[in-house]
Amino acid sequence: MQLPRNLLILSVAMLLYASALPSSKEARAQTDQSKIIEMAKKEGEIVFYGGFSVSDVAQFIQRFNAKYPFIKVNHLRAGAEKIMTRVLTERQAGKHTADVIQLRGFPAHVLVDKGVFAKYLSPESRVYPKGFKDPEGRWTTLYVQTSVIAYNTNAVRPGEIKSWEDLLNPKWKGHMLMDREETEWFANMLEVMGKERGLKYMHHLADQNLSFHEGHSLMAQLIAAGERKIGIGLYAPRIEDLKAKRAPVEWVRTNPVIGLLYLGGIAEKAPHPNAAKLFLDFALSREGQIEISRSRRISMRPDVKPDPPGLVEGVNIHPSNLELARGYDKLYKDFQNIFAKGSH
């Protein structure tokens, strides 16, 4: 039986209209988002604890405020271990200041184990690969930094350093620097090398009279300026940034290269939880990740490619094993005890 023409047209129109309507799930998500935005407007600000440089975070905040101009972002910048210590100290005192916390994997994992992070499944986290996000939503990888050997090309010839063992050459004694907070690199190197061999290597490396500093960006600049010839555990994206500015620096593609995960999450007792959700969602979005990548950080979003591609092409990246963080206190003491003897 054929439907009358007018009825057929009406049926098709109703089907098209129904298909254009959001699903009940989509409608709920839109309603929830609207509520979050309204409550975030009342909160008016967030406190962000993170290690971004002042210039990098300024660009990111500018992008965020273009979308959410009603949220003031207060940024506290410090190294990962200092942020971890501050958060735990504040928590013990019953003080809750931070809304969003961003820090390197090991210290972040310590905070996760102590229940510092809230469970929030950001809609943006769905596209992130397994292993780069917490199934319960406590954290997602904001970016990855590859920890490498870097050198001044005016002081070190190409091919002169090919492996970690090459750093033990007596000619480099007193000519190398390292960040004073490299516990995560230390732990992963022990895993890669094997504990016995790794500890023996670390003691020999400490005998090379390393110079210790705070801040990987600062150390990269010191290498470029020729203050030291070699940097240990510097970030390859930062070296690429200096190379683009014609600085005399290069980095070594050792086998493997340690990949450090930088995690972001919302504090369990965040004073401004809704504004924090908007901030984290933006940081994990394609727009936010493109902005983060502009500051030479490696995004784990499949639709955001590293710049330049050589940061990952042909590089054997060993992702940091965050389970090693459960022995953090001992690892930290071991690192400090080994390298304190030969540092200056």
Q: Domains in the chain, please, with CATH?
A: 32-144+260-310 (3.40.190.10), 145-259+321-340 (3.40.190.10)
Give the list of residues 6+ apart from residue 291 with CB closer than 8 angstroms, or none: 59, 60, 63
Q: Which of 312, 260, 261, 303 minimizes the C-alpha distance to 285?
A: 303
Q: Show pLDDT as tens, one digit a residue, over the chain (344 residues).
A: 554 555 555 555 555 555 555 555 555 556 688 999 999 999 999 999 998 888 888 999 999 999 999 999 999 999 888 999 999 999 999 999 999 999 988 889 999 999 999 999 999 999 998 888 999 999 999 999 999 999 999 999 999 999 999 999 999 999 999 998 899 999 999 999 999 999 999 999 999 999 999 888 899 999 999 999 999 999 999 999 999 999 999 999 998 899 999 999 999 999 999 999 999 999 999 999 999 998 888 998 999 988 788 888 888 888 898 889 888 889 999 999 999 865 55
Residue with tokens 């940091």: 320
| CB 285, CB 277: distance < 8 Å | no
Give the list of residues 6+ apart from residue 342 with CB closer than 8 angstroms, or none: 206, 207, 208, 209, 210
Q: Which amino acid is at 229?
A: K
| CB 207, CB 118: distance < 8 Å | no
| CB 138, CB 119: distance < 8 Å | yes
The pTM is what? 0.77
Dist CA 111 CA 329 (whole Å): 13
Q: Report CA-CA distances (Å) from 106 to 97, 121, 144, 253.
A: 21, 21, 13, 23
Dist CA 79 CA 137 (whole Å): 24
